[in-house]
Amino acid sequence: MPHFLGIDVGTGSARAGVFDIKGTMLASAKRDIALFLEPGEIAEQSSEDIWRAVCASVREAVTKSGLAGRDIAGIGFDATCSLVVVGQGGAPLPVGRSGDSQRNIIVWMDHRALEQAQRINDGKHAVLDYVGGTISPEMETPKLLWLRENLPATFAAAEHFFDLTDYLTWRSTGSLARSICTLTCKWTYLGHERRWDDAYFRAIGLGALADEGFVRIGTEVVEGGTALAKGLTEAAAADLGLLPGTPVAAGLIDAHAGGVGTVGGQGSVGTLQSRMAYVFGTSACTMASTSEPAFVPGVWGPYFSSMVPGLWLNEGGQSAAGAAIDHLIGLHPAAAEAAAKAKAEGLSLAAWLGQQATKHAADISSAAHLAEGLHVVPEFLGNRSPFADPEAKALIAGLGMDTSLDSLVALYVAGLLGIGYGVRQILAAMANKGIAIDTIVVSGGAAQSELVRQLLADTTGLTVAGSTSPEPVLLGSAILAAVAAQKYPDVIAAMTAMSRIGDIYRPAGGNLVPWHDRRFAAFELLQQAGRAIRD
């Protein structure tokens, strides 16, 4: 039986999972990766550090699976949409004022290019119609412009600018082919027309890239799952402990891999186009597929073939989700005490707080009442969707003097409700443009909690479903690997065969419906107050 490797590089770690042809995971492993944070919302990483972590996690996962390198029939990658800069021969180049060439990645969450993004948006360029009307500082063209203006030596010396996923496939195969997912979603590539917009790059100050024929950012663009070059090179195979020539698939952004690993699965709720993938990790992404393009203000896309080949994608979400909850509860005076209790029980702080929230509740849904009178808009890192407002900030209303563990639990629940109401806003924006969603399929570390899933169902009024896979993001990349290895004819066939819908959570209904409606109105009122104060 053939087996496949799914490799995921997130914000804090690199992970690898070994799957069989039915999508069952045999083993997984992970290694932490360094994240360099500086004032001004600067976030950088090292491509060499990430490659070492990838190799170590692959070797461990294969060993734990009981297989050998020769048993791996294909490899798929996904990663955060971070900008990797390399010079001659692939040497890393510095992207920050530290001058450290090992720090050659501007991380997705880095907001240094806020001013560049605003200037680009002021131009009202036609390509912006395909990013919800407003480009985000998390995307790559504002970051490239920042490099040209602030580190011109790095910009000039760069041989290649990669999205992190494309860097990993290049490092593995030597192929300069880019994924249509990364370029369409984050680089303003017009996937439906298979072209860069020359006029856009010249207008915003990146005409040098157009003059060169875009060779530094990608001229060969392929769909996720496409087999690249001749597979693993000798050098990459030696690093990974695998066989040279093992097929390597063009990859996806990490959230999109989560979508591939969930929304097409066998199950009794929803269909591929009525399910919305919700990947809830450090950040959160919502992804909905349609047959025809839908232009939703404040929601990225429509992107053609960027997740499921042949379908259009609308992508929303928040820059900080799991990270926002972690930051929120870390502000509470009882956080250290709760963290110690959680550690003693072998739990994360969020998991322990979730246990406490449901311990005395009549049912999971009624745990929401712990947040009575306490309201949180958890936009610590701006609002990505549906307002495309990177300068938005978090707001909390209803805080008292209580510093007990119980008040910390209440704050945690209020934060989760705020996350849910943000999803509700995205769903409403999409519904206004004809995108009808009936099921949210969740993945990501923060979405494993039953409390999180039920509160998401109650705050949005939609059915929430999990995946039977313990690692749906890794599964998504393994699905790409199976397609590259020609074990399935296309991505949709592999999704259907390798993924399955698991537990289902339905909205509680009853008196909770008007209760959540009132809280949602308060949530939107707080958002409006925040904007008014800023203005």
Q: What's the 3-state SS for 377-444?
A: ECCCCCECCCCCECCCCCEEECCCCCCCHHHHHHHHHHHHHHHHHHHHHHHHHHHCCCCCCCEEEEEC
How high does pLDDT run on average in the chain?
A: 96
* Among the listed residues 58, 71, 21, 30, the one whose alpha carbon sits nearest the alpha carbon of residue 499: 21
pLDDT in tens, 19-66: 999 999 999 999 999 999 999 889 999 999 999 999 999 999 999 999
Q: What is the pTM of this model?
A: 0.90
Report the C-alpha dihedral over residues 37, 39, 43, 45, rounded to 10 degrees: -50
Question: Residue 127: its pLDDT value, please?
Answer: 96
- Measuring CA to CA, how many Å separate 58 from each of 112, 225, 473? 33, 19, 15
Report the C-alpha dihedral over residues 350, 112, 252, 14, rounded to 10 degrees: -50
Cis peptide before 390 (omega within 30 of 0): no
Phi-psi region of 510 (alpha: psi -120 to 50; beta: other; left: phi over 0): left
Reported confidence tier of residue 197, pLDDT bands at 50, 70, 90: very high
What is the C-alpha separation between 356 and 140, in angstroms, rounded?
Answer: 41
CB 433 within 8 A of CB 294: yes
- CATH 3.30.420.40 domain position(s) in the chain: 3-252, 272-468+500-535
What is the C-alpha separation between 412 and 406, in angstroms, rounded?
Answer: 10
Question: Residue 40: its pLDDT value, please?
Answer: 85
| Per-position DSSP letters for 276-292, written without gaps between them | EEEEESSSEEEEEEESS
Strands 501-505 and 463-467: antiparallel
- Measuring CA to CA, how many Å separate 141 from each of 91, 266, 323? 22, 38, 25
Question: Residue 461: its pLDDT value, please?
Answer: 97
Question: Residue 102: its pLDDT value, please?
Answer: 97
- CATH topology (fold) of 3-252: Nucleotidyltransferase; domain 5 (3.30.420)
Burial of 231 (0-12, 13-18, 19+ CB in 10 A): buried
Q: Is the pLDDT of residue 293 over 90?
A: yes
What is the C-alpha separation between 276 and 383, in angstroms, rounded?
Answer: 19
pLDDT in tens, 470-524: 999 999 999 999 999 999 999 999 999 999 999 999 999 999 999 999 999 999 9
Angle, CA of 483, 269 and 445, to the nearest 5°: 65
Cis peptide before 297 (omega within 30 of 0): no
Average pLDDT over residues 175-191: 97
Question: Residue 267: its pLDDT value, please?
Answer: 80
What is the C-alpha separation between 146 and 168, in angstroms, rounded?
Answer: 24
Least confident stretch, 222-231, 341-350, 382-391, 424-433: 382-391
Q: Which amino acid is at 203?
A: A
What is the C-alpha separation between 3 and 392, in angstroms, rounded?
Answer: 45
Angle, CA of 80, 85 and 89, to the nearest 5°: 125
Q: Is the pLDDT of residue 281 over 90?
A: no
CB 417 within 8 A of CB 368: yes
Token pair for residue 470? 């313990």
- CATH topology (fold) of 272-468+500-535: Nucleotidyltransferase; domain 5 (3.30.420)
Phi-psi region of 284 (alpha: psi -120 to 50; beta: other; left: phi over 0): beta
Kindly give, in sequence order, each residue whose CB lies less than 8 Å from that of residue 521, ignoring residues fewer than 6 positions away: none
Reported confidence tier of residue 270, pLDDT bands at 50, 70, 90: confident
